[in-house]
Amino acid sequence: MIRTDWTLDEAAAIHALPFPDLIHQAQTLHRAHFDPTAIETASLLSIKTGGCPEDCGYCSQSAHYDTGVKATKLMGAEEVIAAAKRAKDAGAQRFCMGAAWRSPKDRDMDKLTDMVRGVADLGLETCMTLGMLSPEQVTKLKNARLDFYNHNIDTSPEYYAEIASTRTMEDRLETVEHVRKGGIKVCCGGILGMGEAEADRISMLVTLATLPSHPDSVPVNLWNAVKGVPVQGKSEKVDPFALVRLVALARILMPASVVRLSAGRTGMSDELQSLCFLAGANSIFVGNQLLTTENPATWKDNDLLQRLGMHVAPAKPASRSAKIAAQ
């Protein structure tokens, strides 16, 4: 049963279960909705890096901080499509395009929709993260065959003001709702290790699990150290078992959502990643780099899955509407 009425007390009680009971419950639900031996793969490209006007205290791309990241202009569609083809050849099923913006300008929408169409024509699932969107922008991206839109809530409502002041949690949730109502699948998760308490991590997942519809995809990120940003001074390394518990809780609260191990995998052992898979994580980013951070080499991911007797999930066939739009 898919519930959207979870309470903080219920989630905290599940999170506190003895580890074997927690993993058993998560794995049981995981098997009810997914092939437990299959891992989805996605590739991520920064199509416009740095110079972002937001002051998110964890981010290397904010113009408010001296992080050494140089601002770039929006890439051309042909260059992006070529990168998508390389990602597909390397085994990616979904291609995600990220731009460091508060929100895209209307003058950029034609170029963005050209990117989406070109990537979709390759047979890849399409995903973008561009900041806040208006309903009109959602419609344009939907018509171009955008499958997913990523817009993380980052942390709990209670802790949000500690990491950003140029936008609010309400701003984030408004865009998530625009995307959902516009018929694009929602990719929405958060970041661990920014100085938040355990209660904040649980609250973040409850916030997602009590949306009108659960996100289709829930990325779980570990914060990567960035010099020059405010979070650097209060960040704390996430205990490995705390990460596994959060993955298991995400799987239990949102049993039909894909749970992705996103940023931070370079610092995870094979054993920790395997525990996360057992707890219900069933998606990873592939390729040597995410937006501005490193990612495990493809051969390492392939080697781990082979040793576990697991495999990359088969690519999903294009929807009928997408096929019609392509004709």
pLDDT tens digits, 284-308: 987 655 555 667 788 888 899 999 9
At 249, give phi and psi (nearest 5°). -65, -40
- pLDDT score, position 139: 97
94 included as an active-site residue: no
Asked about 260 being catalytic, the answer comes back as: yes
Q: Is the pLDDT of residue 318 over 70?
A: no
Catalytic site residue 276? no
3-state helix, strand, coil in the chain (%, to 5): 40, 15, 40
The domain segmentation of the chain, as residue ranges, is 8-312
Residue 134 has pLDDT above 50, yes or no: yes
113 pLDDT band (50/70/90 cuts)? very high
Of 94, 96, 117, 188, catalytic: 96
Catalytic residue among 59, 145, 188, 201: 59
The active-site residue out of 94, 172, 260, 265 is: 260
Instruction: Tell me the pLDDT tens digit for each residue of 12-44.
Output: 999 999 999 999 999 999 999 999 999 998 888
Amino acid in the structure at residue 169: M
* pLDDT at residue 200, rounded to an integer: 97
Look up 56 and say whether it is catalytic: yes
Cβ proximity of 206 and 153 under 8 Å:
no
Domain 8-312: homologous superfamily in CATH: Aldolase class I (3.20.20.70)
DSSP characters for 103-135?
Answer: S--GGGHHHHHHHHHHHHHTT-EEEEE-S---H
Residue 125 phi, psi (nearest 5): -70, 145
Q: How many CB atoms lie within 10 A of CB 132?
A: 18
Q: What is the pTM of this model?
A: 0.90
188 is catalytic: no
What's the pLDDT at 305? 93
Q: Which of 94, 117, 167, 187 is catalytic?
A: 187
Query: Does the structure show a pLDDT above 60 at 187?
Result: yes
pLDDT digits (tens, 9 = 90+) for 221-251: 999 888 889 888 888 899 999 999 999 999 9
Cite the beta strand spans of the chain per DSSP E: 38-48, 94-99, 125-129, 148-150, 185-187, 190-192, 217-222, 258-261, 283-285, 311-312
Instruction: Quick: pLDDT tens for 86-108.
Output: 888 888 889 999 999 989 999 99
Tokens 């817009």, residue located: 151
Q: Active site residue: 127, 201, 251, 265, which one?
A: 127
